[in-house]
Amino acid sequence: MIEIEYVVRDQKGIERLRTTDKKAADAYDKALETAERLADLLRQDAVLPGLAEHDLEELTIYLARNARQVERILKGKEAERATTADVAASPDNVTPLRAAG
């Protein structure tokens, strides 16, 4: 059996996603590219100069992955509410479990 695996790396070469789903890999790659452009804009305009690089990366990836919602808000519209299917299908809605104690 042949299985094709897609690996998405950021501009620094750090592996960000590994999947067998080409569509998911392409979407995540596009989100990373958009996030980098957003981060460049925020750095260039010195918006949030005290924000740590890691936090800036997390913020811009979030904005890029939620571009449709951000666009609606910027146009003065309400954000669309996620359906139950959207919530279940989205890996962003998975919270890591912590050991009790």
- Percent of the chain surpassing pLDDT 70: 81
Q: What is the pLDDT of residue 72?
A: 94
Q: What is the pLDDT of residue 11?
A: 85
Token pair 């569509």 is found at 23
Q: What is the pLDDT of residue 93?
A: 40
- Percent of the chain surpassing pLDDT 90: 69
pLDDT at 101 over 50: no
Q: Check the CA dihedral 60-65-66-68 and report its sign.
A: positive
- Would 96 be classed as within a structural domain? no
- Going by pLDDT thresholds of 50, 70 and 90, the confidence category of residue 86 is low
Does residue 71 or residue 82 have the better pLDDT? Answer: 71
Total number of domains constituting the chain: 1
- Would 71 be classed as within a structural domain? yes
- Would 1 be classed as within a structural domain? no
Q: Check the CA dihedral 18-23-24-26 and report its sign.
A: positive
CA distance 76 to 62: 20
- Would 85 be classed as within a structural domain? no
Identify the domain containing residue 70 by its residue range: 6-80
Q: What is the pLDDT of residue 90?
A: 53
